[in-house]
Chain A
């Protein structure tokens, strides 16, 4: 172990996250490796190791002969300080080597608030943050993940953006880079060639001009780059790589269990949900394969909990059959099944009994809005009766805690909608009184509200975010309306959501803001401990950028969105149609009931949900 690291570790919190050596971490002989990849997650070890995408791509990349892909996470503040003091560059967990001279530095970016951490990690690695300052072929800085569906705020820093699911395109990209190094291409030549691979967006090959009012005037592809880059997907989930043998962290992480991915995409079409649009189309993994992977993953890792993961697990057609199939194994091995996301409209006693046999902790439902009118606007398609029936079932079955998630500030929201949330909580409470077999244990009902952030590639991408004052007024309104003692109300801190709203629909003018805020000390801004609203305000002011332009402005139909060169497969015409239906309060059926023609089916050659 590096001597400097050995000296530092006794002084930092949770040192186990900085040493690697976990079971199943991939070790390779450096002399047999010609491509070193630093796979970076711009957040802490505990968060990054909980990311299934990271585990999949780690496995995929390490399967390529001659390639060694290693993990890199953002150090917590205490560790960063010690590393900078000791002059220790950011290193990869597997080898402990500084990543400065690696061939490829890849970031997995799931959320906008991680942007400052990207700059900070590059800097900690001693790599120039600007793409233009990195003139040689290595290190090539690439990024993927959901937040990259609008990569404009980081366009100055990233060489190549990989869109969509990375199983195939990552391999193609790595191979092209190998060829480039072998044949001595310039970086410019490599980028030109990379732009021809479907799914790769090269920010430097697009010239963006602006109108006087600050909106985008034109996006011009250069050097033969395509006008539109469409995301990549894996067509057949049964043939795609699944990390059965995956790293088992030696320290507790957020998702410390087997993550069994049942399907990708979501049939629901909630209009606010970016994941619901950009992960389309729906592709199921076969029940047999899910069961096999579940068993093998438990056997290899030793985990005693499996989470059946997807955007809306209760929509997996053979869910009950899968649970039945796993039952014998689970009983014998004391393995619990858990479901991350339940829909109130298809939650059943049958399903509940299969879950967490011994431990009945809490259940979580997300009605998202307080009235049927608003739920129709957002196309949530869950009724109050369904929610109450599900809660009734849960309480009757012995559960005594329910969490209810809502959003404030949804388009068209009125005070009546806000107060509707308090009403729902009261009715759930009433349901408990009616249904609970043992009232002595009491009940805990938690209402949580977050602040709606309009995201690109959704039906609400044209919508403004309500102002901070208005959001806080609605929080207060709801807080005062919730009078029941057994109902706890949590609301999301407002400042983070403002910045998130700015970054989510930002353009390239925000690159300067990001750099400024990072130079002022922003690092792990997804963490309350490190986030500073004042720092962002200062950065906006110094760069002459008005955050309200991005967060609180209604876009017109003909406005060219900064992310227009990127396609998730869902057409903009469809999103606009959904936006109009939202304003009319008309729902759209789920895509299993009826194909609504979003366009994503073209990605699988015609038919989704098979």
Chain B
């Protein structure tokens, strides 16, 4: 029995595949490999498979992880290539390897957040946003799992934000807290809307670039 981990890219069309559909997509791809996924032992057995930090629908990522268990001994060699023969566009497995590090050591994620301004970036916009993201407190309204609204201070969860400007876009290279609780970088837009409504972008595009441990190294 082995615990394995996939590192995969989710982008373009595939960025619209929901979490549950993504699991189904992987379930259908696994029979291509020789691997026998371990199933739960209950009345309705289902494969033991979990996606670490599910990506919000519409966002892209270079560094998604999927953990699963197989009944054989395997180091995952050749699995990525085989899985890729059955993937939809925009979904690409980069690596399959033995999962050794526990997920709790994944603490940060780095993302590219593109703030699009159809009428061009307002003058002084970048500086204003730099100051905004450097504040000690940024309270936004966030929908909780119970579907009601709650006030959350996201400032402590923003670990760094480097802002640059190019062709009607402000690009924020941000590092945020990954879990317990994690911050969806999309919510930076909410903060802008609340504190600097005149700088509210027309569209926000998010791409996860890296997942990091507490020392700032790539988590694998």
Complex-state Cα separation, A19 to B21, whole angstroms: 14
The answer to whether A302 and B31 have CB atoms under 8 Å apart is: yes
Question: Looking across the interface, which residue of chain A has its beta carbon closest to that of B87?
Answer: A23
Complex-state Cα separation, A251 to B19, whole angstroms: 10
With A21-B14, A23-B86 known to touch, is A7 a contact of B203 (CB < 8 Å)? yes
Complex-state Cα separation, A559 to B32, whole angstroms: 59
Q: Mark B54-76, 1 if CB is under 8 A from A, else 0.
A: 00011000000000000000000
The answer to whether B21 and A302 have CB atoms under 8 Å apart is: no
Return A49 CB to nearest CB of chain B, in Å: 13
The answer to whether B16 and A299 have CB atoms under 8 Å apart is: no
Contacts of A20 in B (CB 8 A): 13, 89
Return B87 CB to nearest CB of chain A, in Å: 6
Complex-state Cα separation, A20 to B90, whole angstroms: 11
Interface residues on B, range: 20 to 34
Contacts of A251 in B (CB 8 A): 17-18, 21
The answer to whether B12 and A1 have CB atoms under 8 Å apart is: yes
Q: B44: CB under 8 A from chain A?
A: yes
Contacts of B17 in A (CB 8 A): 16, 250-251
The answer to whether B203 and A302 have CB atoms under 8 Å apart is: no
Interface centre among A1, A23, A300, A358 (most CB of B within 10 A): A23
Complex-state Cα separation, A359 to B14, whole angstroms: 31
Contacts of B205 in A (CB 8 A): 6
Q: B210: CB under 8 A from chain A?
A: no
Q: Mark B2-22, 1 if CB is under 8 A from A, else 0.
A: 000000000011101110110
Q: A252: CB under 8 A from chain B?
A: yes
The answer to whether B28 and A302 have CB atoms under 8 Å apart is: yes
Q: A301: CB under 8 A from chain B?
A: yes
Q: A208: CB under 8 A from chain B?
A: no
Contacts of A250 in B (CB 8 A): 13-14, 17, 21, 25, 88
Contacts of A299 in B (CB 8 A): 31-32
Contact of B28 among A1, A19, A248 (CB under 8 A): A248
Q: Mark A1-34, 1 if CB is under 8 A from B, else 0.
A: 1000011011000111011111101000000000
Q: A333: CB under 8 A from chain B?
A: yes
Q: A303: CB under 8 A from chain B?
A: yes
Question: Looking across the interface, which residue of chain A has its beta carbon closest to that of B25?
Answer: A250
The answer to whether A302 and B86 have CB atoms under 8 Å apart is: yes
The answer to whether A16 and B18 have CB atoms under 8 Å apart is: yes
Return B160 CB to nearest CB of chain A, in Å: 26
The answer to whether A16 and B58 have CB atoms under 8 Å apart is: no
Q: Mark B182-194, 1 if CB is under 8 A from A, else 0.
A: 0000000000000
Question: Looking across the interface, which residue of chain A has its beta carbon closest to that of B204?
Answer: A10
Return B61 CB to nearest CB of chain A, in Å: 16
The answer to whether A15 and B31 have CB atoms under 8 Å apart is: no
User: What number of A residues sit within 8 Å (CB to CB) of B?
Assistant: 29
Q: B30: CB under 8 A from chain A?
A: yes
Contact of A15 among B44, B58, B88 (CB under 8 A): B58
The answer to whether A302 and B13 have CB atoms under 8 Å apart is: no
The answer to whether A10 and B28 have CB atoms under 8 Å apart is: no
Contact of B44 among A18, A300, A358 (CB under 8 A): A358
Q: Mark A290-301, 1 if CB is under 8 A from B, else 0.
A: 000000001111
Contact of B32 among A18, A21, A302, A359 (CB under 8 A): A302
Q: B45: CB under 8 A from chain A?
A: yes
Q: B29: CB under 8 A from chain A?
A: yes
Return A62 CB to nearest CB of chain B, in Å: 17
Return B211 CB to nearest CB of chain A, in Å: 23
Contacts of A1 in B (CB 8 A): 12-13
Contacts of A298 in B (CB 8 A): 31
Q: B24: CB under 8 A from chain A?
A: yes
Complex-state Cα separation, A358 to B14, whole angstroms: 32
The answer to whether B31 and A10 have CB atoms under 8 Å apart is: no
Contacts of B57 in A (CB 8 A): 10, 15
Contacts of A252 in B (CB 8 A): 20-21, 24
Contacts of B13 in A (CB 8 A): 1, 19-21, 250
The answer to whether B88 and A302 have CB atoms under 8 Å apart is: no
Contact of A333 among B16, B20, B31, B87 (CB under 8 A): B31
Q: B179: CB under 8 A from chain A?
A: no
The answer to whether A302 and B12 have CB atoms under 8 Å apart is: no
Q: B27: CB under 8 A from chain A?
A: yes
The answer to whether B28 and A303 have CB atoms under 8 Å apart is: yes
Question: Looking across the interface, which residue of chain B has its beta carbon closest to that of A22?
Answer: B88
With A19-B13, A21-B12, A358-B45 known to touch, is A302 a contact of B18 (CB < 8 Å)? no
The answer to whether B88 and A21 have CB atoms under 8 Å apart is: yes
Residues of A316-340 contacting chain B, CB below 8 A: 333
Residues of A351-374 contacting chain B, CB below 8 A: 358-359
Contacts of B14 in A (CB 8 A): 21, 250
Contacts of A300 in B (CB 8 A): 86
Return B134 CB to nearest CB of chain A, in Å: 28
Complex-state Cα separation, A76 to B124, whole angstroms: 41
Complex-state Cα separation, A300 to B44, whole angstroms: 24
Contacts of A7 in B (CB 8 A): 202-203
Contacts of B86 in A (CB 8 A): 23, 248, 300, 302
Complex-state Cα separation, A21 to B28, whole angstroms: 16
Contact of B16 among A16, A25, A304 (CB under 8 A): A16
Complex-state Cα separation, A6 to B59, whole angstroms: 11
Contacts of B44 in A (CB 8 A): 358-359
Question: Looking across the interface, which residue of chain B has its beta carbon closest to that of A15?
Answer: B16
The answer to whether B87 and A302 have CB atoms under 8 Å apart is: no
Interface centre among B14, B21, B31, B205 (most CB of A within 10 A): B31
Contacts of B29 in A (CB 8 A): 302
Contacts of B89 in A (CB 8 A): 20-22, 25
The answer to whether B27 and A302 have CB atoms under 8 Å apart is: yes
The answer to whether A301 and B58 have CB atoms under 8 Å apart is: no
Question: Looking across the interface, which residue of chain B has its beta carbon closest to that of A335?
Answer: B31
Residues of B85-113 contacting chain A, CB below 8 A: 86-90
Return B100 CB to nearest CB of chain A, in Å: 28
The answer to whether B45 and A10 have CB atoms under 8 Å apart is: no
The answer to whether A23 and B88 have CB atoms under 8 Å apart is: yes
Complex-state Cα separation, A14 to B90, whole angstroms: 17
Residues of A446-495 contacting chain B, CB below 8 A: none
The answer to whether A9 and B58 have CB atoms under 8 Å apart is: yes
Return A88 CB to nearest CB of chain B, in Å: 15
Q: Mark A225-260, 1 if CB is under 8 A from B, else 0.
A: 000000000000000000000001011100000000
Complex-state Cα separation, A251 to B205, whole angstroms: 22
Complex-state Cα separation, A18 to B203, whole angstroms: 19
Complex-state Cα separation, A16 to B28, whole angstroms: 17
Contacts of B87 in A (CB 8 A): 23
Contacts of A25 in B (CB 8 A): 88-89
Complex-state Cα separation, A20 to B14, whole angstroms: 9
Complex-state Cα separation, A168 to B46, whole angstroms: 42
Question: Looking across the interface, which residue of chain A has its beta carbon closest to that of B39?
Answer: A334
Can you name 24 A-B residue pairings with CB atoms under 8 Å?
Answer: A6-B203, A7-B203, A9-B16, A9-B58, A15-B58, A18-B16, A21-B12, A22-B88, A22-B89, A25-B89, A248-B28, A250-B14, A250-B17, A250-B25, A250-B88, A251-B21, A252-B21, A299-B32, A302-B27, A302-B29, A302-B30, A302-B31, A333-B31, A358-B45
Task: Name the 6 nearest CB pairs between A and B, nearest first.
Answer: A302-B28, A21-B13, A21-B89, A19-B13, A15-B16, A16-B16
B residues at A contact (CB < 8 Å): 12-14, 16-18, 20-21, 24-25, 27-32, 44-45, 57-58, 86-90, 202-203, 205
Query: Can you add 12 more A-B contacts, CB < 8 Å, to A299-B31, A302-B29?
Result: A6-B203, A6-B205, A7-B203, A10-B58, A15-B16, A16-B16, A16-B21, A21-B14, A22-B88, A251-B18, A304-B31, A358-B44
